[in-house]
Structure 1
């Protein structure tokens, strides 16, 4: 299995800087810095056997906003391709838009902005020339879960083709379980990203092993992407751990095989380095 972490390496540089909406003239400068940092981070990751990475949605700040005027695909094209050259064939990539992307919202303006934001993510990966999935939650449950799933199916067909082929769906910790995501797979063929902490809190009674077995079928022979964290002690259920619990992680990776693991741990690369060493010790590192 491969180990990954989210968006930025805190010991190197900041790859997810943004700007204020009233200072969009700074977007190019900030984007160039983000891309420089991303390339530097990816090279560092390879040097440390970390071969899975989630690229920040803020790489090009406000890219999908109506006020955005920078033609970033052309003006930053050389830099984007340079990042892609580092990734190509060596690092698995994912992206995960934020909470404001709700494809199954019953508000038209939210759906439209969600489609635009997802298009930016797909266009960014296309501009780099790399494979990579864009994972989202099912979203709203207004009107009930069955109605939320119906809206997701309906609005899926509003997406551009380059988004459709990259989209993956993740189980959440409150409403939509692995089984619900599998219902969407049956219709849309969107692979399912398994999140262990969400599954612990919200499931249909199936074990971790059984849930992963069902999810594996959605990846069509490819290695499933999974999100991993343990519960932060003293916080509300679902809050990600500040640092890797070695005992919890070791138990998890002994129970799973042939998956790639994205650490949703707050200290990012520090925990990723520990996870790599654990996998080396038990002979499970890709």
Structure 2
């Protein structure tokens, strides 16, 4: 196992919102949306979508002003977009195409890499064909949004999923191969705490030709390890890096457990930075403190 080089500051990523009021997005529940008469739903979604697009531009400005070069887009930015049997959201989004592209251009001009992590209900290898169909349908809209933002169809602008139903790696590989290009060419997979550790997920990544986003916290919890400085963490950082083309695009996730390494709950701030991450170029910080966690971590690493 190679020794990591000297500590340096990587590109730290903000996840969706700030703990303060600067980056916030609006939403609407399915029940609330369907309570409106059909002839009013378009106006409701148009006002909400337009507002969220403007907030997205503000998020780009916030990241740029704070030196944040990695940003996770909210997967719920356009609620009801993938509501089956109702194309209102799609029509509204299309009417805002120019505004959406301008929002994407704001991130691109600032050199900010953008990713998205769709909801956990999206399972590509379920035993239910209907669940898989709906998962692919929902994912197609994430691909559409990334396209409309003007982002590349590469893992630079990742669409990230977990492995899904345990014990079904072949089914996962097969479904990935059949995904629309807007999704498949951006897709990356992340190890989790229960169904797919990195050892189970890595063969899928190789077979499907998608990169692995390694999460040391998930790995430690699943393996009942004592620390994120366990030697296996470095081994998996390097194994995951080999799935990225180029390797300099590698992304990992960073979080700590509130009551120790085995606690699944995330701390407000990062209390332990694993030595194995010292040379990782892109780190999404999954801490409840959001921008405060990023700022304190940058000071800790300087």
Please indicate the TM-score interval, normalised by the length of the shorter structure: 0.7 to 0.9
Q: Does 1:219 align with 2:244?
A: yes
Q: Tell me the TM-score normalized by structure 1.
A: 0.88
1:13 Cα shift? 4.1
Shift in CA distance, 270/184, structure 1 to aligned 2, threshold 3 Å: same
1:157 Cα shift? 3.0
- Per the alignment, residue 2 of structure 1 pairs with 11
Q: Show structure 1 runs of 5+ residues with no match.
A: 282-286
Q: Does 1:237 align with 2:263?
A: yes
Most deviating of 95-104 and 200-209: 200-209
Q: Distance in 1 between matches of 2:52 and 2:96?
A: 11
Within 5 Å, give how 1:108-119 maps onto structure 2: 108-119=129-140
Give the one of 210, 213, 235 matched to 1:210.
235
* Local SS of the residue matching 2:203: helix
Q: Distance in 1 between matches of 2:81 and 2:144?
A: 10
Q: Deviations over 1:159-210 (max 9, x none)?
A: 1111110110000011211122210122111100011101112259961111
Q: Show structure 2 runs of 5+ residues with no match.
A: 1-9, 34-40
Q: Distance in 2 between matches of 1:275 and 1:83?
A: 28
1:76 Cα shift? 1.2
Runs (4+) of structure 1 exceeding 4 A deviation are 203-206
Give the one of 49, 69, 75 matched to 1:31.
49
1:41 Cα shift? 1.6
- Per the alignment, residue 124 of structure 1 pairs with 145
Give the paired residue count: 271
- Per the alignment, residue 284 of structure 1 pairs with none
Q: Distance in 2 between matches of 1:49 and 1:253?
A: 23
- 8 A Cα contact 1:226 1:260, kept in partner: yes
Q: Deviations over 1:33-78 (max 9, x none)?
A: 2221121122111111111110001111121111341314421112
Q: Tell me the TM-score normalized by structure 2.
A: 0.83
RMSD (CA atoms): 2.1
* Local SS of the residue matching 1:218: coil
- Per the alignment, residue 168 of structure 1 pairs with 188
Shift in CA distance, 19/236, structure 1 to aligned 2, threshold 3 Å: farther
1:17 Cα shift? 2.3
- Per the alignment, residue 215 of structure 2 pairs with 195
Shift in CA distance, 236/213, structure 1 to aligned 2, threshold 3 Å: closer
Q: Distance in 2 between matches of 1:255 and 1:157?
A: 31
1:23 Cα shift? 4.0
- Per the alignment, residue 6 of structure 2 pairs with none
Give the one of 116, 119, 128 matched to 1:98.
119
